[in-house]
């Protein structure tokens, strides 16, 4: 599953990247405020190249991702996409389904694909592409909330997760895509608190959603899922808050 998911997201992001204007490539990505669109693409390509070559010293660290950007900062988009195409099959082969519960290229690419689309003002991708990763992130949320009162979570398609201990004391209804993005630390405390909670959640519950820690800056919310790929003007947000990987 991970291999196929990564191959698919690599194809979608590559197609998007080659359609961008020069101005769009220089836009800041609100979810990763240290990076432009071009730099985020450089990280994705660098991660694949490192996985394919076994260059994994410091994997997932800030220094590891920064090296991807620095080594490819001046490479044109077409060169980045060509490198990703060359390294892709070897990177695909590095993925096995037992890696889904830990850091992996497919989860990283799914997260950053949404980062890019939100930066460019594009609709979210179809749910089938990210649903398995939502299940994993809800598992992690359950672990973080295991010593708290239970929150019973419902999404718009009737899926349900119970996170915490004891009988449900809090209920939450929100979109599965928003749950995924919050779990990747891509929604602010304020945005999470604005969901449909009964009763209002505790601060601990809100801050538990972000796998990379809570963030302060609001993020752009995309339109509903669609297969559309034509870029639209981005919602520009000042680069503040943590730079989640």
For 133, 196, 197, 205, the CA distances from 169, given in Å and listed in that order, are: 26, 14, 11, 12
pLDDT at residue 225 in the model: 64
Q: Is the dihedral of CA 145, 147, 148, 152 positive or negative?
A: positive
- Tell me the per-residue pLDDT of 29-48, one tens digit each, with 9 for 90 and over: 999 988 999 999 999 999 99
Regions of the chain short of the pLDDT cut 70 = 225-245
pLDDT at residue 72 in the model: 95
pLDDT at residue 65 in the model: 86
pLDDT at residue 235 in the model: 36
pLDDT at residue 149 in the model: 87
Residues 91, 108 contacting (CB under 8 angstroms): no
- Tell me the per-residue pLDDT of 195-229, one tens digit each, with 9 for 90 and over: 999 999 989 899 999 999 999 999 999 987 654 34
Question: What tokens appear for 16 in the block?
Answer: 């998007």
State the Cα–Cα distance between residues 104 and 88, nearest whole angstrom. 14
Instruction: Please give the domain boundaries of the chain with CATH numbers for all domains.
Output: 1-120 (no CATH), 129-209 (3.30.1050.20)
pLDDT at residue 176 in the model: 97
């Amino acid at each position: 599953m991970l291999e196929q998911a990564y191959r698919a997201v690599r194809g979608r992001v590559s197609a998007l990247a080659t359609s961008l204007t020069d101005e769009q490539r220089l836009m800041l990505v609100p979810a990763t405020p240290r990076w432009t669109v071009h730099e985020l693409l450089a990280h994705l390509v660098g991660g694949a190249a490192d996985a394919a070559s076994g260059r994994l010293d410091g994997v997932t660290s800030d220094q590891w991702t920064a090296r991807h950007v620095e080594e490819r900062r001046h490479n044109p988009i077409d060169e980045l996409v060509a490198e990703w195409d060359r390294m892709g099959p070897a990177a695909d082969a590095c993925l096995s389904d037992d890696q889904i519960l830990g850091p992996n290229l497919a989860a990283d690419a799914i997260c950053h694909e949404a980062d890019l689309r939100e930066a460019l003002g594009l609709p979210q991708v179809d749910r089938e592409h990210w649903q398995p990763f939502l299940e994993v992130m809800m598992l992690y949320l359950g672990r973080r909330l295991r010593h708290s009162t239970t929150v019973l979570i419902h999404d718009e398609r009737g899926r349900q997760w119970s996170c915490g201990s004891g009988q449900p004391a809090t209920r939450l209804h929100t979109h599965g895509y928003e749950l995924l993005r919050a779990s990747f630390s891509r929604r602010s405390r304020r945005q999470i608190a604005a969901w449909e909670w009964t009763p209002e959640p505790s601060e601990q519950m809100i801050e538990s959603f972000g796998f990379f820690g809570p963030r302060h800056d609001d993020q752009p919310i995309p339109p509903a899922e669609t297969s559309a790929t034509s870029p639209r003007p981005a919602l520009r947000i000042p680069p503040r808050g943590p730079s989640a990987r």
